[in-house]
Amino acid sequence: MDLTRNFIKAKQPCADGFRWFLRHCQEGSNYQDLLDALVNAGRVNDACWLLDKFGPTNETLTLNHVSATAIVFAGRLEVRGNIDVDSVVRVGQRLHSGGSISVGEALVSGDDIVCAGHIRSHGSVVSGGRLRAGWGVETGRELSVRADLQVAWDVRCGGHLRLGGQAWVGRDVAVQGSIDCEGSLVAGGCLSAAGSIRAREGISAGAEVECGMHLEAGWGIRAGGAIQARGAIRAGESLSTFETIQAGAGYGVFAGLNVQVEVWESSARVCARSRPEALMSGWWAGVRDV
């Protein structure tokens, strides 16, 4: 794709960025060549703006490894080894790494992110498709995945966790913001958030579930440890733990919100070591045996 002066101007670039383009690309430029030139000139934000405006391409770039200040590529990026970038990794299509990924500011892809090792970003991670990591995921800020999330080890997120599909995490999920999941949320260990936790389908954790505000699932909530919230606890179907269920002061515990009262005994069971003090709905079934 060739980008001419009038083509760029029609997208209403900032004055400084357009002046740079006129000085360095008077005769126009190939799309990816312009992205590379902007990155090499330290104008990474301008390169990201350009990708936002003109979108992805079908090109594929295959490398053995990446070690750079920044990289902005409009197509698919395939890296056999590690990716180590000081600031931004921005890819228009799918990103695949056969090793680990480490970025200083942001990791953003227009499609899937697939990483055989560990993903670490001091800023945000945004996947336009699925995100799959063979080890763990750590972010300093937001983690946003448009489709499914599959992580073998821990997920540690310094901001909000937003998921457009299902989530399977082998160990702990620890989030400094809120969790919003459009599918089911499954953690092999503890599940915790400083804000609310919401899943449109079910929530399952091998250990404790704890959040700083409301806990809500459209289906059931099941945990190996205590279920605790500083706000309300709401489950569309059953609530089950070997330990205790405790809502915040002045809030209630609700099970069976999405099923008829007549089927509460089978579909809205509440199992815990002791009856929750603020149980407002659901069928109290006593101590969980399995």
- Domain locations along the chain: 1-43, 56-153
Look at residue 29 in the predicted model and tell me its pLDDT: 58
What secondary structure does DSSP assign to 151-187, as a single string? ESS-EEESS-EEESS-EEESS-EEESS-EEESS-EEE
Residue 42: DSSP 8-state:
T
Q: Angle of helix 44-54 relative to helix 15-24, nearest 10 degrees?
A: 90
Q: Which residues of the chain have pLDDT under 50?
A: 1, 19, 22, 28
Q: Which amino acid is at 228?
A: Q
Look at residue 257 in the predicted model and tell me its pLDDT: 98
Look at residue 17 in the predicted model and tell me its pLDDT: 53
Residue 210's alpha-carbon distances to 177, 197, 205, 256, in angstroms, are 12, 9, 10, 20
As a whole number of angstroms, the distance between CA 106 and CA 128 comes to 14
Residue written as token pair 């920044």: 70
Look at residue 243 in the predicted model and tell me its pLDDT: 97
Residue 223's alpha-carbon distances to 67, 187, 207, 247, 274, in angstroms, are 42, 9, 6, 15, 15
As a whole number of angstroms, the distance between CA 208 and CA 193 comes to 11
